[in-house]
């Protein structure tokens, strides 16, 4: 029989993940529901698999199938994918026997700390990523960069042209840039 403390640690950890980290930053209720449901479901399946004679490989196969189904059903941002996989990992940690007993809470805490730090708004606060449709076709990379820097009032670090439409006079680009501080802004 599974000891209750890993289940309690998992429930607390996924609550911190969903309500303490994810929702305050992204405000998507639908993803909170997915994180909670996925975590508890994976933990329940992991507990059931541990009690039966199936191998861990089957459990990880299930992990892969669940993730593929979910990721193909709706477009998720990279940050949301990270929260989603952490919910999966926390559920698996809560559902399998890990020895010694201190390892499971340490791993759960490590997952939460990694997301707290990696997704902190204080980490690279001026860095942005945007997909932009410009109302003119620009094929010169220097001109495109200058146009984007003027548009955003920022320093462009990377531009990836997705599509240039010479007939409709548009340019679709994926741009990564850093906002300038007020001291750096052109006069």
Domain identity same for 108 and 135: no
Q: 101: which residues sit within 8 A by CB, 6+ positions away?
A: 5
The per-residue pLDDT for range 104-116, each reduced to its tens digit, is: 888 899 899 988 8
pTM value is: 0.65
- Is 150 within a domain? yes
- Is 140 within a domain? yes
The per-residue pLDDT for range 29-53, each reduced to its tens digit, is: 878 888 888 788 778 777 776 766 6
- Is 112 within a domain? yes
- Is 187 within a domain? no
Domain identity same for 18 and 98: yes
Instruction: Enumerate helices (H) and strands (E) in the chain, giving the number of each.
Output: 7, 3
- Is 51 within a domain? yes
Question: What does R_g of the chain's alpha carbons equal in angstroms?
Answer: 22
Structure confidence at residue 51 (pLDDT) = 66
- Is 184 within a domain? no
Domain identity same for 76 and 165: no
Number of domains in the chain: 2
User: Do residues 96 and 58 make contact, with C-beta atoms less than 8 angstroms apart?
Assistant: no
Domain identity same for 132 and 154: yes
């Amino acid at each position: 029989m599974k000891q209750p403390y890993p289940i309690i640690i998992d429930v607390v950890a996924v609550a911190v993940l969903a309500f303490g980290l994810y929702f305050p930053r992204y405000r998507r209720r639908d993803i909170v529901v997915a994180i909670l449901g996925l975590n508890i479901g994976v933990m329940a399946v992991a507990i059931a698999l541990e009690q039966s004679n199936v191998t861990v490989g089957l459990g990880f196969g299930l992990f892969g199938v669940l993730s593929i189904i979910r990721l193909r059903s709706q477009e998720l941002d990279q940050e949301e994918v990270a929260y989603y996989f952490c919910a999966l990992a926390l559920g698996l940690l809560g559902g399998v026997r890990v020895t010694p007993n201190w390892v499971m809470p340490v791993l759960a805490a490590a997952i939460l700390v990694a997301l707290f730090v990696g997704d902190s708004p204080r980490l690279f606060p001026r860095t942005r990523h945007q997909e932009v449709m410009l109302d003119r076709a620009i094929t010169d990379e220097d001109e495109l960069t200058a146009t984007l820097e003027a548009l955003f009032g920022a320093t462009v670090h990377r531009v990836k042209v997705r599509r240039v439409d010479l007939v409709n006079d548009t340019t679709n680009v994926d741009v990564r840039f850093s906002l300038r501080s007020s001291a750096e802004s052109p006069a």
